[in-house]
Structure 1
Amino acid sequence: MAMAGLFRRLLPSIAVDFGSSQGKQLFREAIQNGHMEGFPRLVSCFQTQSELGFCGLASLSMVLNALAIDPGRKWKGPWRWFDEYMLDYCGPLDEIKTGGISFANLVSLAHCTGANVEAFHASHSSIDDFRKYVMKCSTSDDCHVIASYHRKALKQTGAGHYSPIGGYHAGKDMVLVLDVARFKYPPYWVPLTNLWEGMSYINEFTGKSRGFMLISRPHREPDMLYSGAAYSQEGKVDGDLGLPSS
């Protein structure tokens, strides 16, 4: 008897599976060119989103842990560690669980943790700027890039999504997307131009383009008094929902 439900998706031809022979070769070349400096710390904190709308929260908690940012409060037992359910500073997680989180609200959430954040909507930036920042963070382990993009531009099923960028291949102009929906797609290399296209899609709920953010280690402790007032009510927006067509 066939089991109901979906088990992973095949990557479209536009992407290169990180675990494939070609993906490994791209990885080796990127290391040699110095564009995988942040990868070891980031992959050591790699996680799968635990809820269908938690791609933004999973991406952010993964990056915060890679940067060794102290949440300033306990996770479980005596341990202080970020996971998605620790990111309840600015808004109700139940709403995010079912509908995802907007770009503006994820940026506000990153600020809540005390991280340094630089955020760019694609409509107010350029592909050259994006490439510059990807190269900057890929040659350092002090900052990481989270991309907000529409999967359609990558020939994938689904809609709005977030994932961290794990590295860059300068020769091929490709980025390594560490997709936090690991139940759906593995990490993959994809042309930077296609990811930029995905970030240029307009979010139908907010009327704004998607974009990218640079997260770096703070020079202050997390602001535990940060108010949820900065959290805007922009509706159910970006989350990799588990519908049959997603």
Structure 2
Amino acid sequence: MTSQAITPSHGLYREALPKGCIVFSSSEGRAIFREALEAGHMRCYFKMAEQFSTQTELTFCGLTTLVMILNALKVDPGKTWKKPWRWYDDNMLYNCVSMPMIKEIGISFDQFVSLVMLNSLIIKSERVDELASIETFRDHVTRLSRQDDHFIALSYSRKSLGQTGDGHFSPVGGYHPDRDLVLVMDTARFKYPPHWVPLTAIWEAMKPVDETTGKSFQTEIRIKRTQYFK
């Protein structure tokens, strides 16, 4: 039998990451992971990797990011997912806006924050403005990448990174301090794989104004299950 190449009749299959983004599974990406692990800045990765999910709708990046964090922090949703199991999935998070609306336009940052607080988590966040500091952001990433009871979610503009699309949420999976690289656990794995991005590039990607809300994209969103941040 002679094999034949499959020619897709429609649709898209994956995108090439732009220059400056390093595929996590590439030789360079794996080397960065080893070095970051040895430096102690991948502790947040393992619980997040256990829960890594692909968003089930094009607009579900915010929901999937939050679901990954909720399950990584072992938050009991208090309601059944599939009998008899209680577990978070994307379709359980619609407290702030109707699911049809989320499927159409996604969720805003403010709606993300409301969902975090409605699901037994503590959140701290800041917008990128004239008072925001990249040094403070780097300190948060450096510190929290060494912990597994806090997680950072990013809200940023894909356009700023040279990627297709615009507003996007994804969690942070680690940090390489010497190369100043952040591991973005991209929830849209049908488009881009997890990848390393310069922290300075992510910072710039959170500065543009979101056309939907008229506000800047958020800086890091620090999320924890227990009562107070340390």
Shorter-chain TM-score above 0.5 = yes
Which residue of structure 1 lines up, in the alignment, with residue 165 of structure 2?
Answer: 158
1:217 aligns with 2:228: no
CA distance in 2, matches of 1:126, 1:98: 34
CA shift for structure 1 position 135: 1.3
Root mean square deviation, CA, Å: 1.3
CA distance in 2, matches of 1:77, 1:29: 42
Which residue of structure 2 lines up, in the alignment, with residue 109 of structure 1?
Answer: 115
1:61 aligns with 2:64: no
Q: Structure 1 length normalisation: TM-score?
A: 0.87
* Letter of the 2:22 counterpart: V
Q: After the TM superposition, which segments of 4 or more aligned residues of structure 1 sit over 4 Å from their partners?
A: none
Which residue of structure 1 lines up, in the alignment, with residue 144 of structure 2?
Answer: 137
CA distance in 1, matches of 2:10, 2:79: 40
1:70 aligns with 2:82: no
* Letter of the 1:69 counterpart: V
Per-residue Cα deviation, 1:121-169 (whole angstroms, up to 9, x for no partner): 1125221111111112100001110000000111111111000010000
Aligned mate of 1:202, from 194, 209, 219: 209
Q: Identity rate of aligned residues, in percent?
A: 47
CA shift for structure 1 position 3: 2.2
CA shift for structure 1 position 72: 1.4
* Letter of the 2:76 counterpart: D
Per-residue Cα deviation, 1:20-47 (whole angstroms, up to 9, x for no partner): 0000000000001100001010010000
Which residue of structure 2 lines up, in the alignment, with residue 47 of structure 1?
Answer: 53
Q: Structure 2 length normalisation: TM-score?
A: 0.93
* Letter of the 1:28 counterpart: R
Structure with more relative contact order (C-alpha pairs < 8 Å, separation 6 or more):
1
Which residue of structure 2 lines up, in the alignment, with residue 179 of structure 1?
Answer: 186
CA distance in 2, matches of 1:14, 1:219: 38
Give unpaired runs (5+ residues) of structure 2: 1-6
Which residue of structure 2 lines up, in the alignment, with residue 92 of structure 1?
Answer: 98
* Corresponding pairs, count: 220
Aligned to 1:98, the other structure's residue is in SS state helix
CA distance in 1, matches of 2:134, 2:86: 37
CA distance in 2, matches of 1:98, 1:33: 42
CA shift for structure 1 position 188: 0.2
CA shift for structure 1 position 2: 3.5
